[in-house]
Amino acid sequence: MTDSIDIKTRLPTRVGLSSHAIFRLWKTALKDDETLLDEAIASVHEQITSLDQARAEQVMSLIIRRHRDAKEAFKAMLMAIRTQSRPATDVNRRWNGTPDRHPKGTPLIDAFWR
């Protein structure tokens, strides 16, 4: 990884685009620059494997095999990373006290492995 860079001193804070437009430009830039894309993928890989190695391998296997459940499994794994980094009160509020189920009642990734 590279050292942290103070971006505020180099770029203006607003560029006149909506947040959605900025996201689309950023996404395109990542796709176009193989080095940036590799960094993003390496970061996600590190995060999911540090969360749960076995589960990460199962999700990666689904993605590699283009399994129909790969998208939901990956999204659930990313959500688990987000909720792990939040305080416990935020997790309970978001999941209504049931961390293994989505608020709409959809089972999260653990249901794939039961």
- Condensed to tens digits (0 to 9), the pLDDT of residues 57-92 reads 999 999 999 999 999 999 999 999 999 877 655 444
β-bridge mates for residue 107, sequence order: 101
Closest CA to 57 of 66, 65, 48: 48
Answer whether residue 58 is part of any domain.
Answer: yes
Tokens of 51: 């969360």
What distance separates the 2 farthest-apart alpha carbons in the chain? 50
Answer whether residue 82 is part of any domain.
Answer: yes
Q: What is the pLDDT of residue 17?
A: 86
Answer whether residue 64 is part of any domain.
Answer: yes
Q: What is the pLDDT of residue 66?
A: 97
What range defines the domain where residue 85 resides?
18-113
Tokens of 73: 């499994």
Q: What is the pLDDT of residue 16?
A: 82
Percent of the chain at pLDDT exceeding 70: 62
Q: How many domains does the chain have?
A: 1
- Asked whether 51 and 18 are in contact (CB, 8 A), the reply is no
> Which residues are CB-neighbours of 40 under 8 A, at least 6 positions away?
30
Answer whether residue 1 is part of any domain.
Answer: no
Percent of the chain at pLDDT exceeding 90: 55
> Which residues are CB-neighbours of 37 under 8 A, at least 6 positions away?
30, 31
Answer whether residue 2 is part of any domain.
Answer: no
Answer whether residue 108 is part of any domain.
Answer: yes
β-bridge mates for residue 101, sequence order: 107
